[in-house]
Amino acid sequence: MRAEKGGKGEGLANWFDGRVGLFKMGKAQLRKVFPDHWSYLIGEIALYTFIIIILTGVYLTMFFNPSMREVVYHGTYRPLNGVRMSEAYQSALNISFDVRGGLLMRQIHHWAAILFVASMLVHMMRTFFNGAFRKPREINWLSGAGLLILGMFDGFLGYSLPDDLLSGTGMRFLEGAILSVPVVGTYLVFFIFGGQFPGEIIIPRLFTFHVLLLPGIMLGLLAVHMILLVYHKHTQHMGPGRKNMNIVGPPLWPVYVAKSGGFFFLVFGVNVVMSAIAQVNPVWLYGPYRPDRVSTDAQPDWYMGFSEGLIRLMPGWEINLWGHTLVLGVFIPLMIFPVVLLIIWLYPFLEAWVTGDRREHHFNERPRNSPSRTAFGAAWMALYAVLLAAGGNDLIATHFDLSLNAITWTCRIAFFVLPAIVFVITKRWCIGLQRRDREKVLHGRETGIIKRLSHGEYIEIHEPLTQAERYTLTAHDQQDPLEPPAEIDEAGVPRKASRRHKLRVRLSRSYFGDRGQIPKATVEEYRRHQAEHEPHEEREPTH
C-alpha cells in the first residue's frame, strides 16, 4: 500500500532535510537545556531591544535624509517656519510631525537604544560578579563587552544625526577632544569633518557608520556571542543535582521558547509604553545647529555622560612646547576615557594571570565567595557613578541650588577616594557574609526562639540547615594563594624573584590569603561540631 503523501510544506521540509540535515540538527538543539533564573532575563532584554532598534531603524531610514544642504523650513511645526536648516534636521521634523507614526517610532528607537546599553551594562556586571567570564567563556566576555562599547558609540552617532542644536553641541565636544591630540589632531579633524568644522559631509558619514558599519559589526559580534553561548551552554547557580559538567533546567522547546517569546512581547510593550508617555530628545525644541550657539542644559545620553564628566573634572591645564600648545585639560581625559572601559573589558585575563587557574568553570560563583573581584567591580561602578555625576554638575547645581565649584571639587576628590573606600567596604562586607555562611553551616539557622534550661541558662534555638542548603553554601572552590619562590634554589644559589612575580604573589594573597577569604566549613568540621555541641536538653546538669 502506498504511503499517503504529505502537504507541500512537509515536502519542502523533507527536501531541505535531505540536503542540510535540518531535522537532526534542530531536534538536538530544541532539547537543549537552559537553567531557569531571573538574572538571565537581563541578557534577553539586551537581545530584544537590539531587535527593536533594528526594526524601528529600518522604518526611520526610509524617511530620513542625511544631507547637510541648507533649506528653508516650511512645514507643520510653525515656530520654525522660515528658519534655515539642514535637510537632515528638516527630515527629522517631518518624521516627527508629518509621517504617520513617525514620532512614536523615533521615541521607540531612542528608548530602545537607552535600554539596550543599560541592559548590556547590567548583564555584563552580572556576568562579572558571578565569575561567568572564566574559562572557557573569555571570548563571550570580549564579544559582549565589544557589543557594549560599540552600542555606546553607535548611540552617540545616532542622536547626532538630526543635526539639532543639542547634537551639534555634542559634535563640537568631539571636535575639541580630537583637536587636543598632539601633532595629528588638526589633520584628524579635517579628515573626519571634510574641512573646517562642521563641514558638509559629517552627517552623511555618521549615517553610513550608524546604519551600516557599526550595526554590521555588532551583528557579527552578536552571532559569535550566541554561537558560543549555545556551544558552551549557560553557566548555572550551585544547587543539588548540579555539577560542573551538567545543566539542570527546562528544555528549549517548548518551555523556554514559550517563555522567551512572551518575554519579547513584554519588553516590546514596555518599550512602547515608555515611548508614548515619556518624551526623549524633542529635537524641535532645540532648533537647528549653528556653530555660534550652544544649547543650555546640554547633556549626552547617560551612557556617554562619564566621558563628559572626565572633561569637566580635569583642570584646564595647557603646556606650550616648541611653539605648540598641548591642551592637557582635554587630552588627558581623552586618554583616560578608553582606560575606564578597557580595565573592566580585560579583567578576565588579569584574574587568570593572578590565579593561574586553567580549569573550566560552568558554575556561577556567589559574589561573596570572591571578595576581591566583587570589591573591584563595585569600585569600578563607583568610579563610573562619580563621572556621571560630574558630567551633570551644572544640572545638579541648578536643581539643588548648590555651588558648581563645590560639586566639581567634590567629584574630583571622589574620583580618587570613593573607589578605594568602596573597595575596602565591599571586600569586608563579602568576608563578613562568608563568615556568616560558615556559622550557618556549622550552627544552623537562627530562629529567634529563646529557651531557658532547667539550670537557668538561656539559649537560642538553631534550626539545622537541610542537606541541599549546606551543599549550596559549601560547593564552591577555594584556591590557595601563590607562594613566593624559595630564596635559595636546589644548588644553594640565591634566587631572585622578578618584580612581576612578586606582584602576582601579592595579588594572589589579596584574593586567596587570610584577608581575602574565610575557609569554608568542611565535612570533618561539621561532624566534629555536631558531636561536641549536642542539644542542651541532653546536657542539662543532674542534681
pTM greater than 0.85? yes
Residue 81's pLDDT is what?
93
- pLDDT tier for residue 543 given thresholds of 50, 70 and 90: very low
* Separation between Cα atoms, residue 125 and residue 116, nearest integer Å: 14
Give the residue with greater pLDDT, 478 vs 69.
Answer: 69
Give mean pLDDT, residues 426-447: 90
Residue 35's pLDDT is what?
79
How much of the chain exceeds pLDDT 90, in percent? 43
pLDDT digits (tens, 9 = 90+) for 114-132: 999 999 999 999 999 999 9
* Separation between Cα atoms, residue 148 and residue 218, nearest integer Å: 9
Lowest mean pLDDT among 159-173, 183-197, 298-312, 376-390: 298-312
Residue 489's pLDDT is what?
63
* Separation between Cα atoms, residue 143 and residue 158, nearest integer Å: 22
- pLDDT tier for residue 21 given thresholds of 50, 70 and 90: low
Number of helices (H), then strands (E), belonging to the chain: the values are 21, 8
Q: Which three cell numbers stand for residue 94?
A: 517631518
Give the chain's mean pLDDT: 86
- pLDDT tier for residue 138 given thresholds of 50, 70 and 90: very high
Residue 52's pLDDT is what?
96
- pLDDT tier for residue 83 given thresholds of 50, 70 and 90: very high
Give the residue with greater pLDDT, 189 vs 538.
Answer: 189
**pLDDT greater than 80 at residue 2:** no
Query: For residues 505 and 354, is the Cβ–Cβ distance under 8 A?
Result: no
Residue 62's pLDDT is what?
94
- pLDDT tier for residue 537 given thresholds of 50, 70 and 90: very low
One-letter amino acid of 137 = R
**pLDDT greater than 80 at residue 313:** yes
Which among 118, 128, 207 has a CA at the least distance from the CA of 162? 207
Residue 213's pLDDT is what?
93
Give mean pLDDT, residues 51-57: 95
Residue 103's pLDDT is what?
95
- pLDDT tier for residue 22 given thresholds of 50, 70 and 90: low
- pLDDT tier for residue 301 given thresholds of 50, 70 and 90: confident
Contacts of 162 (CB under 8 A, 6+ apart): 88, 89, 92, 281, 283
Give mean pLDDT, residues 441-450: 85
Question: Which domains, and CATH codes, for the chain?
Answer: 27-294 (1.20.810.10)
Q: Three-state SS for 279?
A: coil
Give the residue with greater pLDDT, 453 vs 19.
Answer: 453
Pairing of strands 458-463, 236-237: unpaired
Give mean pLDDT, residues 280-308: 82
Give the residue with greater pLDDT, 3 vs 503.
Answer: 503
**pLDDT greater than 60 at residue 539:** no
Q: Three-state SS for 19?
A: helix
Residue 515's pLDDT is what?
81
Give the residue with greater pLDDT, 39 vs 4.
Answer: 39
Q: How far apart are the first and last CA of the chain?
A: 95
Residue 328's pLDDT is what?
87
**pLDDT greater than 60 at residue 538:** no
pLDDT digits (tens, 9 = 90+) for 214-250: 999 999 999 999 888 888 888 888 877 777 777 777 7
Which residue has cell 523533507?
14
Residue 284's pLDDT is what?
92
How much of the chain exceeds pLDDT 70, in percent? 91
Give the residue with greater pLDDT, 6 vs 378.
Answer: 378
Q: Which three cell numbers stand for residue 465?
A: 540547615
Contacts of 137 (CB under 8 A, 6+ apart): 228, 232, 235
Which among 52, 309, 68 has a CA at the least distance from the CA of 206? 68
Query: For residues 393 and 408, is the Cβ–Cβ distance under 8 A?
Result: yes
